[in-house]
Structure 1
Amino acid sequence: MRFYKLAATFIALVFIQGCFPSNDLDKKQVHLQGITMGTVGYNVKYIEMPIEGNKQIPAQKDVHQGIENILVKLNQDMSNWIPDSELSKFNAHSSTEPVEVSEGLRRVIAESIRLGELSEGKLDVTIGPLINLWGFGPESRPEKVPSDEAIFQARSRSGINNLVLNGNMLSKGIPNLYVDLSTIAKGYAVDLVAEYLDSIGAHNYLVEIGGELRAKGFKHTGELWSVAIERPVTTERAVHQIIIPKDNAIATSGDYRKYFESDGQRFSHLIDPHTGKPINHKLVSVTVIHPSSMTADGLATAMIVMGPDKAYQFAQEHKIAAYLISKTENGFVEQSTVNFMPYLK
C-alpha cells in the first residue's frame, strides 16, 4: 500500500562519494536496503561497530529488522494512504474536539506548525484538499485544471491556523480539516532511523529514504560522506553540485519531476497555499542542510513555494544553509546563502 505519492518523486541526492580521509580506514561497511511507504526505496549504510569488552555487536539482520519496525510504525501513524492509520482517523474525525495523538505524530505536527508560522503559511500541512483536487494525493483525479470555485472550496477546508496542538492533544478549528504530512514526514523517518543507529552505537552512517539524507561520521574508507545535488532537468539524471554535509541532513525540493500538462501548460505538484494553485516561477530546486532531516524537508518545501527572491531573503534572514537553483533563458543560476558555503566542495 502506498504512503506518500509525493515522497518518491523529486529529491535525487543519489550520487554518494567520499572525500577527506581520516586515519581510521577499512572498517566493514554494512549496506541495508528496502522499500517503505509503499513505493519509496531506502538505503542505510553504516560502519560496523567495534567490539568493546563483552559488548555484543548487533547482527545485521537485527539492525535491518529494527529499521523496518521503525518505518512500519511511522507508516501506520502518518500515512494518508492507509485508511486506519492514526492520521487518517484524525482526518476522518469530523469534530473540533481534541484527540490524543502518539508522540511521533505530535513531534511532526509540532514542527509543521512551527515551520508554517515561520514561513508565513508557505508550508501548510492542511492543504490536503488542494493536493487531492489537483490529482497529487490519495484521491487521484483526472489530470485536468480545477475551476476557481473548486479551488475556493478546497482552500476553505485548509489553513495551518486551524490545526491546534496542546501537549499531545490535537484538534481542528474546522471539522473537515484534512492534514497531509507528505512534505515533512519522510524527513522525520530519516531522523528516526539515524537516532536508532546512534542508539545502538553505530555513529558512522548515511541514511537515505526517497532522496532525503542524513549523514554522520565517515565511510568505511575513512572519508567523509559527500552527496551530489541533481541537475534540475526532466530529460536526464546528472550531477549539478557536490556538497559535503558533515554531520547533517540534506533535503531538496524541486518541481521538475512530478507534474502534469494540460492544453500545453505545465502544472507542478507543489501547491502555493495562498493561491491554491501550483507554483509558477523560475525557482526549480532548493537544497537545505540542517541537523534535522524533518526540518530540512519542511524548509526546502516552504522555500521553493516562496519563489527565488523571497526564498533567498528568508534563508539569509533565518541563517538557513540553503542552495537555490533558478532556471532562466540563459541557463541555470545558483544562489548559496552564507551558511551553505562551508558545505560546497
Structure 2
Amino acid sequence: MTNRKRTITFLIGVIFILIISSGCSINSKNKPVSKTEFVLGTIVTIQIFDNASDEVFHKVFDRLREIENKMTINRENSEVININSKAGKDFVKVSDDTYYVIKKGKYFSKLAKGRFDISIGPLVKLWNIGTESAHVPPKEDIHIKKNLVNYNNVILNESEKSVMLKKEGMILDLGGIAKGYASDEIVKIFKKKNIKHAIINLGGNVFAYGNKPDGSLWKIGIQNPFSQRGDSIGFVNVANKTVVTSGIYERFFEEDGRRYHHILDPNTGYPVENNLAGVSIITNKSIDADALSTSVFSLGLNKGIKLIERLEDTEAIFITKDFEVYVTSGLVEYFTLTDSNFKLIKRSE
C-alpha cells in the first residue's frame, strides 16, 4: 500500500465575503449591535444598526437552530434524516419549512438540468470533503453512488406535505440551499421587529438588509478565490440584496498532489471540472442565490451567464482560473474591480 500525502482544508466561513464600510462612515450612534454563534455548520454573525433588544437576537438564533434541527443530515435525528432512512420504502410527513425547501430544491435542480441536485447526498457522504476522512473513492463506488442521484426520484405529496425518495440508498442533502432559506427567515423577523438596517452573514452567505443608516448602499467585497486571507478582488454596491458565493476554495483536500473541491458533478460523481474559480450571485432571496451559486458554477461560464441573464432581478460575478472577471449586464454599474491582478472582461451582447 502506498503512502498518500493529503492536505485537508475547510474554511469555516465557507466563502469569506468582506463587508466594506469605507465610503460611508457610520457615526457612533449607529454603531452595530452584533451577535455571533456557530449554527447550521458555520459561523453566523448578525449585525443590526438600529436599536435592537436581546429578544430580536434570541428569535433569530432560535429560528436558525429550529431550521438546522429539521434539515441537518449530520446528527442522529432530523426530518431529512427520517426521509433518508425510509428511502425506497415510504413517504415521510414533514414541516412546512422542510417541504418548502425541498420543493424549491427540486425547482432549481430542474432549472440547472441536474447540475445542482438535492439528492447529491450519496456522493457527498462518499467523498466526505470538509472532514478528516476526505479521500478519493474507488471508481466503482463512485459509479454505484452516482446512480442514486436523481432529483426526479424525490417524490412530493403536496396535500400531505410528505416526501419520499424512490430508491433505497438515496440521500437528500439540503446543504446547498438551507442556509439561504435561513437567511430569508431572518429577514422576516427583522421586518416584524421594524429593523431597518442590518447585515446577515451565514458563513459568507450575506444579506445586506435595507441600506446603510445614512441611506447609501452597502459595499460587499467579493473574495479573491486564490487567497485564503480574506482578500477581495472588488466590491458590489447593494441594498436589500443577498450576495452568495460558491467556489473551489470553500472546502477541499489534496491527495497525491491534486486538489479536490467540494462542488460535485452529479453526472460524473467527481468534483466539477471547468475554468471557474468562483461565482457570486446577487438577488432578492437568499434561498435562490444559494441554489443558483452552485448551479451556475456547475454549468460553467457560458451556460451560467445565459441562465442568469434569463432570470429577473438576478445578477452574477464569474471569476475564472485565468484571473478574468465577468459580470452580468445588470451589475456592470454596481461592481468595482480593485485588484489589478484580475481583468474585467466586457462581453459583447
* Shared fold (TM-score, shorter chain, > 0.5): yes
Tell me the distance in 2 between the aligned counterparts of 1:7 and 1:181: 19
Query: Which shifted more, 308-317 or 179-188?
Result: 308-317
Aligned residue type for 1:196: I
Deviations 1:284-330 (A, max 9, x none): 110001100111011001111122222222222335301100012xx
Query: 1:325: which partner in 2?
Result: 319
Contact 1:125 1:183 in 2 (8 A): yes
Corresponding residue number in structure 1 for 2:203: 210
2:179–2:202 Cα contact (<8 Å) kept: yes
Deviations 1:50-107 (A, max 9, x none): xxxxxxxxx5211111112101101111111121111112211244422211111112
Amino acid at match of 2:45: N
Mapped partners of 1:80, 1:37: distance in 2: 14
C-alpha contact (below 8 Å) 1:8/1:211 kept by paired residues? no
- Runs of 5+ unmatched residues, structure 2: 1-8, 337-349
1:260–1:190 Cα change, 3 Å: same
Q: 1:72 to 1:235 in 2, by over 3 A?
A: closer
Equivalent-residue separation in structure 2 for 1:324 and 1:315 (angstroms): 11
**Residue 298 of structure 1 aligns to which amino acid in structure 2?**
A
* Alignment match, 1:298: 291
CA distance in 2, matches of 1:186, 1:343: 25
Residue of structure 2 equivalent to 1:250: 243
Structure 1 pair 174–273 and aligned structure 2 pair: CA distance change class (3 A): same
Paired with 1:29 and 1:125, the residues of 2 have a C-alpha distance of 40
Is residue 2:79 matched to residue 1:86? yes
SS of 2:217's equivalent in the other structure is strand
What residue is the counterpart of 2:340 in the other structure?
none
Where do residues 213-232 of structure 1 align in structure 2 (5 Å cutoff)? 213-232=206-225
Map of 1:54 onto structure 2: none
Query: What SS is found at the alignment partner of 1:280?
Result: coil
The match for 1:307 is 300
**2:230 partner amino acid:** R
Q: 2:37 aligns with which of 35, 38, 51?
A: 35
Give the alignment partner of residue 102 of structure 1, picking from 86, 95, 98. 95
Q: CA deviation at 1:26?
A: 6.5
2:186 counterpart of 1:181: no
1:148 pairs, out of 139, 155, 164, with 139
SS of corresponding position for 1:278: coil
- The answer to whether residue 246 in structure 2 is matched with residue 269 in structure 1 is no
The match for 2:153 is: 162
Q: Deviations over 1:115-137 (max 9, x none)?
A: 00001001101111101111227
Aligned to 1:52: none
Contact 2:40/2:68, CA 8 A, preserved across alignment: no
Question: Secondary structure at the residue paired with 1:277?
Answer: coil
Structure 1: gaps of 5 or more residues = 50-58
* 1:170-211 deviation digits (Å, cap 9, x = unpaired): 111213220111111111111111111111111222111101
Alignment-derived partner of residue 47 in structure 1: 49
Correspondence for 1:129: 122
Q: Which amino acid aligns with 2:18?
A: V
1:162 and 1:174 in contact (8 A); partners too? yes
Q: Secondary structure at the match of 1:289?
A: strand
Q: Match of 1:42, as an amino acid?
A: V
Structure 2 equivalent of residue 73 of structure 1: 66
3-state SS in 2 of match to 1:161: helix
Contact 1:79 1:88 in 2 (8 A): yes
1:281 aligned residue: 274
In 1, Cα distance between equivalents of 2:193 and 2:250:
36
The alpha carbon displacement at 1:213 in A equals 1.0
Q: Match of 2:321, SS?
A: strand
Q: 1-side partners of 2:232 and 2:132: how far apart?
A: 34
Given candidates 181, 184, 190, the residue that maps to 1:191 is 184
Note the C-alpha offset of 1:339. Answer: 2.3
TM-score, structure 1 normalization:
0.87
Structure 2 distance, partners of 1:252, 1:324, is: 10
Q: Percent of aligned pairs with the same residue?
A: 26
Residue of structure 1 equivalent to 2:326 = 335
